[in-house]
Structure 1
C-alpha cells in the first residue's frame, strides 16, 4: 500500500557533506505545504547523450532499447506533491526528437524552469538540451550522477543557471518554490549557482516520495531487447556498500534504503493493471542485498496471485539456492550478474570481492532454479594481457549464461580506475576537466590499444556459437524481439568497428 506522503524538508542535517570545499551549511528552509496549487511551468528532460565515451559497442547499444528515466519520474511526483502540477517529462530518445524537435516542444509548452539529467559521458547531449531550453527563456538546472564529481564546473556553460547535487527529489521542489515566489534560491541544500553553493542534498526514502509519475510518458515507445512489450522499470532499493574500482559512487549510494515488500508489490500490481506490463526490470544496485526482504516480496507476490515476469541485478555472492527457488516461483525470469572478468588477478584489482568458483556456482544455481543468467563483463582492463582476456571469453562461454554484455573499460572521473589509469600514463589527468568545459571532440583513450576489437571478439565468440541457437530462439519467441535480436546478430557478424555512433 502507498504511504501517506510527508512534507519534504530539505534543511541541512548535522555532519552532512558537500560537493566542494567552498560549500557552507545553508540555512534551513521550511517544508513545503501541500495545499497550494502553484503556477510555475516545469519541464524535466532526458536527451540523447551524444556520447563519445560509451562503454558499449554500437551494434548492441543501438538495438538495446529505450528505458524510462525513473529519476525524473520521482522528481515529477515530488513536484506534484508540492503543488506543482504544470509539469511535463520530455524523453527525446523515446519520442524520437532531435534538438530542433525538443526546441519546438519546449517553445510550445513555455516552461519557466527546465531540469536536465545527465551522466558525465552523456554531458554533450545534456548541454545541447540546456542550450535549447535556455533559448526558450527558461531557467535551467542540470542534475544527475555527473554533478557529484563536477558541480560548479558546469556553470562554464552559459546555458546552465543552476546545478543540482545529490537528491533532485528535494532540490527541485525547493527551487521551484523560490522561483514561484520571486525569491533568490539561496540556502537550498544541494543547489549550486554562480552566487552560492548548497553542498549535496542527502538521500530520501523513495517510499515516502510515492511511485514515479508515468502519466504523460510515451509508455508504448519504451522497449528493451530483453523484454516483451509493454515493459516497465522499477527501483526497490538504493545504495551499494561494495567498492568496485570502476564504479562511480554518488553520495546517495553510500547508504542503503529499502522499500517495503508491500510498497514494491503494490507498484508491480499497478504496472500490470494500469499499463498492461508483461515484464518489470528492477534497476536496484543490488536487488538481493537484503535477502529477507526479497523473500517477503516473493511471498507477497504469491499471496496476491500476481502474474508478471521480472528480472533484477545482483552479485554472485548474494544468491543462496533457497532464495533462487523462491524468486523463480515468484516470476523472476532473469538475473543480471556483475561478473566482470574471468581472470582472478584482474578481479582482485577490480575489488570485486569475488572469485571464479563463486561465479560458477551462482550462475549454475540460477540456471538449475529456472532463472536465466545475464553476465556483465569488462574487457580491455588496464594492462590486460591477451591471455587474461581469453580467460574472460572462456568463462562466459563455459558457464550457463543465456546473455552477456562486454563493455570496454572506461575510467570514469572519481573512480579508482581513473586514478590508476592516470598514474600509469594511459590517459591525461585533465581529460574529464576539459570534457566538462565542452571539449567533446575526442574519446578518452582505451586502456589497451585493441580494446574495441576485444569487445567485438568477445561478443562474436559468445553469441555466434552453435550452442546459442536454442537460447536465442527461445528468447525471441518469449519476448517478440525478433527484429532487434536478428539485426544485432547480423551486425556483429559483419562489422569491424564498434566505436562509430549512429544517431
Structure 2
C-alpha cells in the first residue's frame, strides 16, 4: 500500500503519557476527571501530520488508569511517545516492549527536551523540537538509531481543532464519544515565553504569537460544533500581546464565546484587562507568583518583596476574582532565596487574604537544560541516584540551600496543612456558587491532604533512619530502599522491565554522551 506521496504506508502509534499509574484511592477520580484533560498539543499535531501524509495512525493518551501498552496496536512500524519526567520510567519500559517487537521508538515532549542523553538508553530517536518536515524524515528512515534530533525551532503549523477532533474525542471524551463534565479542548495562541525563570524549560524560548486567523477559525468551529466546551490554552504565558489576542476573542458573538483556562503573569493582567477576561468568558487563570523575594517582574510589583508584595499580589488576585470564577496561584518553596520562617508565613498570609485562589506549592526540580539545573549540578546539590520517577512533589531531589531536609519537610507540612484545613476549604466554598468549582476545591483539598500524609511519611524516615537522612543531605549516594520500593510500586507490572541501573539517571548534558548525535533540521 502506498501513501499520498507514492511511498509506503507506515503504521504509526502516538502515545501521550499524562500521569503515573494511580496508586491512592484519592487519585482515581482526579485522574479520570482532571489528569485526563492534560492531553498535549504536539502529540495530537504529530497524529494529524502523519494522517495528512496518508499513513495509518493510532493515537492514545494514558492518564494513570489501565494498561498503557494495550492502548495501541502491537503491530506498529513506529511509535512516538511523549511524557513528563515523572512518568519517563513508564515510557522507558514501554519502549523496551516495543523494541522487542521490532518497532522503531521515538520519544519527545518535556522529558526528552530536558534529559535527551538518558532517553537514548531506551529509545531509537530523541526529538527535542519537531515540525512536519522532521516527522516526515523520521518516517522515511532518514536518521540512524542513537540520534538526538531537532527542528530549527518549534513548529508554527498547529493543526486546527477540526483536524484534531479525532484526537480530542479520544483524549477528552468518555469512550471517545460523549464529553465529560470537564472535557477540554487544548489550544495554542502563542509559542514560547518572554520571561527567563531559571527553573523553567521554556526559559530560553522565543515568544511568538500564532496567526490570529487560525485562532478565530478554531473559535468559530467550536461555537458551531462544540458550543460551551471548555478550552485550555497551553501557552506558557497567555496573551503577552494582550490586545491582539483579545481582539480575536472579543470578535466572537457574546453568546458563542466558549469558557477558557489560561496560565499568565500578573503583569499582563493589569488595568482593565480582568474585565476583558470576564467579557470573553475566561473560566480560570493560573498566574505564577513563584516567590515573595524573587521573580517580581512576573507579578507586576516592580522591586517589591516581602509583606508589601503579599499585599499587592493579594489585591490583584481580588480584582481577578471579581471577573474570573476560578483562580490558582503558583508558588515555589525551597529556592535559594528562601530562608527562615518568612516564606512560609508570607504564603500563609496570602492564603488568608485570597482564599478564593487555590495555591500550588511546588518543590524546585532541576530539569535538564535550565540554569537551575546547571547551577545545582555545579554545586553538587542534585541527588544523582534519585530516579526520575521522583522529580515531582512530594519528593525532594536536591539539597536545599537554607533548610536541612527535616526542617524543609516540616515547613511543607505546615504550608499544605494551612491550605487544606477545614476552615480554608469552608472559606473557599463560600466564595463560589458554582457546583463544578466547589467539586474541584474539594477534590484538590483531598489531594493536598494525601500529599501531607506523603510528606509526613518522608519526614518520619528522615527523623528515624540515619542512612535516609544522609542521602538527603548529600552525604551518601546510596539510594534508600524506600525509593527503590516506591519506584517499583509506581511501575507496577512494568517494574520487571527496568533494572536498578535503568532507573538511575544519566544526567550528562546534551552533546557529551558518546552515543549522542545532535542533528538540527533546517
Q: What is the TM-score of this pair, normalised by structure 1? A: 0.73
The equivalent residue for 2:520 is: none
Q: Aligned residue pairs: how many?
A: 431
The answer for the alignment partner of 1:302 in structure 2 is 253
Q: Which runs of 4+ in 1 moved over 6 A?
A: 57-61, 348-354, 499-502
Question: Are 1:373 and 2:324 an aligned pair?
Answer: no
Cα distance, 1:424 vs structure 2: 4.7
CA distance in 2 between partners of 1:48 and 1:197 (Å): 23
Deviates more, 1:364-373 or 1:486-495: 486-495
Q: Is the 8 A contact 2:429 2:438 kept in 1?
A: no
Which residue of structure 2 lines up, in the alignment, with residue 248 of structure 1?
A: 201
Q: 3-state SS of the aligned residue for 1:89?
A: strand
Q: Which one of 162, 178, 187 corresponds to residue 125 of structure 2?
A: 162
SS of the residue corresponding to residue 308 of structure 1 reads coil
Q: Please say if residues 240 and 285 of structure 1, whose CA atoms lie closer than 8 Å, have aligned partners that are also in contact.
A: yes
- Please report the RMSD computed on the Cα atoms of aligned residues, expressed in angstroms: 3.9
Counterpart Cα distance in 1 of 2:207 and 2:294:
29
**For residue 331 of structure 1, what is the aligned residue in structure 2?**
281
Q: How does 1:88-103 map to 2 (within 5 A)?
A: 88-93=58-63, 96-99=65-68, 101-102=70-71
Equivalent residue number for residue 112 of structure 2: 147
SS state of the match for residue 173, structure 2? helix
2:411 aligns with one of 451, 454, 469: 454
Q: Deviations over 1:316-366 (max 9, x none)?
A: 11112222212211101221100112x325869999977426534532331
In structure 2, C-alpha distance between the alignment counterparts of 1:265 and 1:130, rounded to whole Å: 39
In structure 1, how many angstroms separate the alpha carbons of the residues matched to 2:110 and 2:368? 11
Match of 1:264 in 2: 215
Is residue 288–residue 319 contact of structure 1 (8 Å, CA) maintained in 2?
Answer: no
For residue 198 of structure 1, report the CA deviation from its aligned partner. Answer: 4.7
Q: Does 1:45 align with 2:18?
A: no
Contact 1:78 1:170 in 2 (8 A): no
Aligned 8 A contact 2:134 2:151 in 1: no
SS of residue paired to 1:167 = coil
Task: Tell me the distance in 2 between the aligned counterparts of 1:169 and 1:125.
Answer: 26
Aligned residue among 345, 358, 363 for 2:317: 363
Q: Does 1:235 align with 2:188?
A: yes
Taking a change above 3 Å as real, the CA distance of residues 470 and 197 of structure 1, as seen in their structure-2 partners, is: closer
Partner of 2:376: 421
2: CA distance, partners of 1:364 / 1:414: 36
2:261 alignment partner, one of 311, 324, 332? 311
CA deviation profile, 1:231-290 (whole Å, cap 9, x unmatched): 22222111102111211237xx62222233332233234345434553212111111200
CA contact (8 A) 2:265 2:299 kept: no
Distance in 1 (alpha carbons) for counterparts of 2:364 and 2:303: 18
Deviation of residue 369 (structure 1)? 3.4
The whole-number CA distance in structure 1 between the counterparts of 2:237 and 2:70 is 37
Closer/same/farther in 2, CA of residues 318 and 101 from structure 1, 3 Å limit: same
| CA gap 1:452/1:193 in 2 versus in 1, 3 angstroms | farther
1:70 to 41, 53, 67: 41
Structure-2 separation of matches of 1:59 and 1:417: 33
> How far, CA to CA, are the matches of 1:481 and 1:222 in structure 2?
26
Contact 1:453 1:497 in 2 (8 A): no
2:398 paired with 1:445: yes
* 1:219 maps onto 2:172 in alignment: yes
Q: Does structure 1 retain, via aligned residues, the 8 Å contact 2:131–2:151?
A: no
Cα separation, partners in 2 of 1:264 and 1:426, compared to 1, 3 Å:
same
Paired residue for 1:79? 50
The residue number in structure 1 matching 2:506 is none
Structure-2-length-normalised TM-score: 0.71
Q: CA separation in 2, counterparts of 1:248 and 1:218?
A: 25
The 1-side partners of 2:202 and 2:19 are apart by 20
Contact 1:380 1:389 in 2 (8 A): no
Which deviates more, 308-317 or 258-267? 258-267
Which residue does 1:23 correspond to in 2? none
2:158 is the counterpart of 1:193? no
Q: Which moved more, 1:326-335 or 1:352-361?
A: 352-361
SS, match of residue 406 in structure 1:
strand
Pairwise CA distance, 1:228: 4.1
Moved more, 59-68 or 294-303: 59-68
Unaligned 5+ segments in structure 1 are: 1-32, 52-56, 180-184, 187-191, 437-441
Could you tell me which of 281, 293, 296 is aligned with 1:344? 293
Structure 1 residue 461, shift from structure 2 partner: 1.3
Shift of 1:374: 1.4
For 2:207 and 2:289, the matched residues in 1 are separated by 22
Residue of structure 2 aligned with 1:393, choices 336, 341, 348 = 348
TM-fit CA distance, 1:145 = 2.5
Q: Residue 221 and residue 132 in structure 1: after superposition, are their counterparts in 2 closer, same or farther (change >3 A)?
A: farther
State the 1:114 CA deviation. Answer: 0.4
Counterpart Cα distance in 2 of 1:453 and 1:60: 28
Structure-2 residue corresponding to 1:54: none
Give the match's secondary structure for 1:405: strand
Deviation at 1:111, TM superposition (A): 1.0
Alignment equivalent of 1:469, drawn from 399, 421, 426? 426
Q: SS state of the match for residue 376, structure 1?
A: strand
SS in 2 for 1:134: helix
Q: Which residue of 1 aligns with 2:466?
A: none
User: Take 2:273 and 2:299, find their aligned partners in 1: how far apart are those partners?
Assistant: 27
Q: Structure 1 425/137 Cα, relative in aligned 2: closer, same or farther at 3 Å? A: closer
Q: Give the structure 2 partner of residue 106 of structure 1.
A: 73
Determine the C-alpha separation between the residues in 2 that align with 1:261 and 1:198. Answer: 30
Contact 1:236–1:259, Cα closer than 8 Å, also in 2? yes
- Secondary structure of 2:182 counterpart: coil
CA distance, structure 2, for counterparts of residue 473 and residue 230 of structure 1: 25
1:479/1:59 Cα in 2 relative to 1: closer, same or farther (>3 Å)? same
